[in-house]
A and B are shown apart, each in its own frame.
Chain A
């Protein structure tokens, strides 16, 4: 039992469920209490001890089904016979080794016999043992599947089996040979299924690995099927940041003793200060204005910036979003109507694919919205600052910089290429509190962190 349970815990860990040593011990204690007779009860109990969130419960359920379906094959026979079968298999493994070394065993191999007699339990055990010996149970990637299938077949005595089939053919017993060949193919299919099952078990772990990698992939190079995953990941990040800063805001209680309020509060105790009152510094939620360049090269990154900012709604007050290429428009209502990904497509259709003009866009902003910028407002500008040699209107940037609390410029291009060609980045730079490269989700996360710490 211990082996089975340990094996299961390992499998579950590989599938992405976090199980600490203490929880493993709990699992053992729990199983001792409940016994192993009832499969449903076992599942309930392990689920309670091992899986600690809704997602983990789902993973757990999958793992449990996969793992214990496999184990059940062996339960078809009572214990003694099982052991016997196992010995037979091991002996067979040795025999297979002998056979490969040249000692041709007489009377056919045990594998052939099991196939011929359709000894399900024996085969299952042999498969199990071979899987463990070859390390196939630890499979992680799909490309390994074929290799493991082949290795397991070899380990179970494929060579000896093939020789036996040849021998039968030489003896002219074609019918028997055909039958054995068919059985061999069936076995191969079963082995493949076995390997696939373990592959399925490790798939979530692969996803975690991929998610980590995705964070550093430039956003415009994301493949379509990764975009959705990235969105989920961005929302999760935003939620985490939002809770964290929400808490900071509530808990920032540094300050000095408020003598006046303390005395007043304690007049009832004859002025003895039983309760104290403190001067509190109030932290405000940052007000944010986002200006996004939606010309071809920047749009993919802008999409994630907008997604991030809007997912942060809990930690921010009053987010206003603008998009620009040749001119600037307010996109607040589009974003309210549609989810970000659809809204962006709509906006790009409306004003994208034109040569960007930063001067004009800034002038548009100054004309309509500069009044809304106050000393509580943080302005985030996302763009490559490539303005096609038009007037950059740095005077507006300067005015913006002076009015706003914080100006963050996020540039998807790498720093060395700033200012090259038609890029006006160096001319805008003096009017930014923060200017950063921002090409992947990790950069975005850092920028948001900056916004939340310095903007409040």
Chain B
């Protein structure tokens, strides 16, 4: 392998990254600089991006926003245990094949009757064989579809850690060469390489081979300012003061030892609930009533319940501007 920089070197990468940030923001996704850099670099180097982080920080959202930013279709493959090629890549339309043979039975018989002898019939049969294993009978699944998109696509391989290790190995060819091999048809290469985004919740450690082929982006919980902006974009109706307070409150919860820390998606849900309830300012009662939106375990709710008042006071203090 030789070091050759083939891609076009952008005269002003900083500007380009700013553009990505702005584009993602238009799609409703407030990105840190690091996230924007990852998207930019993934495009420039044509490398898949592996996104890790706690649940609900917007890993999947990033792929959706990226597809809007690039104006490309989003093709999603949800991974689960036991996912295999026939569900991820392609499958032959067996039913259709069977149906066609049935319908064409008579035609087939007629054409076979003409040919004398077994050899001639076999030759004929072989030509049908080609017919039945053509793209016409191929059912493309997400991975193949992503490669076939004429203008490129954003391919989201969601929760790749949930799939088996065999499937992970199978992905390697796709991720490094943007090509897949179908035994009956040969290797199919993408006309325009898709932007691949993989997400993982880290239920198991991914293999080194996979990680090596990807850019690795870790999205943690956002800081206070970023989270406020996210709430602002996603739930526009929430007043500035309430927004600051509720974000400060959630930020405090994340410092506790809970079974499941509230994530950005929970913050957004909570903001929506508070908006629906016409809350203008956070107080202990409202918090107690709506805590189950933020926390998903009974133990967690109980742990926070009796400290709620103290947290509200702190949140009010923290959110006073300046």
Q: How far is the CA of A269 from the CA of B33 in the complex (A)?
A: 57
Taking a contact as CB atoms under 8 Å apart, the answer to whether B13 and A33 are in contact is yes
Residues A29 and B37 in contact, CB atoms below 8 Å apart: no
Instruction: Please measure, in the bound complex, the distance between the C-alpha atom of A25 and the C-alpha atom of B50, giving whole angstroms.
Output: 18
Once the chains are docked, how many angstroms separate the CA of A18 from the CA of B47? 19
B136 near A: Cβ within 8 Å? no
Question: Is A103 interfacial (CB-CB < 8 Å)?
Answer: no
Give every chain A residue within 8 A of B3 (Cβ-Cβ): 25, 28-29
Are B45 and A44 in contact, with the CB atoms below 8 A?
no
Instruction: Give every chain A residue within 8 A of B5 (Cβ-Cβ).
Output: 28-29, 32-33
Decide yes or no: A52 and B1 within 8 Å by CB, A18-B208, A33-B41, A38-B14 being known contacts.
no
Of B3, B41, B98, most buried by chain A (CB within 10 Å of CB) is B41
CB distance from B101 to the nearest CB of A (A): 12
A379 at the interface (CB under 8 A from B): no
Question: Does B52 reach chain A (CB closer than 8 Å)?
Answer: yes
Does B250 make an interface contact (CB < 8 A)?
no
Q: Is there a chain B Cβ closer than 8 Å to A332's Cβ?
A: no
Establish whether residues B212 and A41, one from each chain, have CB atoms under 8 Å apart when the complex forms: no
Chain A to chain B contacts (Cβ below 8 Å), 24 pairs: A20-B212, A22-B1, A28-B3, A29-B7, A32-B5, A33-B7, A33-B10, A34-B13, A34-B37, A41-B17, A41-B33, A44-B37, A44-B38, A45-B37, A48-B37, A48-B38, A48-B215, A49-B215, A51-B216, A52-B212, A53-B211, A53-B216, A243-B204, A247-B164
Task: Name the interface size band of chain B.
Answer: 35 or more
Bound Cα distance A40, B36 (Å): 13
Residues of B within 8 A of A53 (CB): 52, 205, 211, 216
B211 pairs with A26, CB closer than 8 A: no
Q: 10 tightest CB-CB pairs across the interface, nearest first?
A: A52-B211, A44-B37, A48-B215, A52-B216, A34-B13, A44-B34, A32-B5, A33-B44, A48-B38, A57-B218
* Partner pick for B45 among A26, A37, A47, A251, CB 8 A cutoff: A26
**B118 interfacial by beta-carbon distance below 8 Å:** no
Residue on A with the closest CB to B213?
Answer: A22
What is the chain A residue whose CB lies nearest that of B50? A52
B95 to chain A, nearest CB (A): 10
**A interface residues with partner B (beta carbon < 8 Å):** 18, 20-23, 25-26, 28-30, 32-35, 37-38, 40-41, 44-45, 47-49, 51-54, 57, 243, 247, 250-251, 269, 274
Decide if B41 touches A34 in the complex (CB within 8 Å).
yes
B15-57 interface bits toward A, Cβ cutoff 8 Å, 1 = contact, 0 = none: 0010000000000000001100110010011010110100000
Q: Among the listed A41, A250, A251, which residue makes an inter-chain contact with B14, where contact means beta carbons less than 8 Å apart?
A: A41
Complexed CA–CA distance, A33 and B13 (Å): 7
The reply to whether the CB of B9 lies closer than 8 angstroms to some CB of chain A is yes
The answer, yes or no, to whether B283 is at the interface (CB within 8 Å) is: no
Which chain A positions have C-beta within 8 A of B84?
Answer: none
Q: Which residues of A contact B170 (CB under 8 A)?
A: none
Q: Are A45 and B41 in contact (CB under 8 A)?
A: yes
- Closest CB of chain A to B81's CB: distance in Å? 7
Q: Once bound together, how far apart are the Cα atoms of A23 and B14, in whole Å?
A: 23
Distance of A40 Cα from B14 Cα, bound (Å): 11
CB <8 Å contact, A32 and B9: yes
Which B residues lie within 8 Å of A54 (CB)? 52, 218
As a 0/1 sequence over residues 237 to 276 of chain B, the CB contacts with chain A under 8 angstroms (1 = contact) are 0000000000000000000000000000000000000000
The answer, yes or no, to whether B133 is at the interface (CB within 8 Å) is: no
In the assembled complex, B232 has its CB within 8 A of some CB on chain A = no
Asked whether B291 is an interface residue with its Cβ less than 8 Å from the other chain, the reply is no
CA distance A40 to B37 in the complex (A): 11
Bound complex: CA of A247 vs CA of B162, how far in Å?
12
In the complex, the chain A residue whose C-beta lies closest to that of B217 is A48
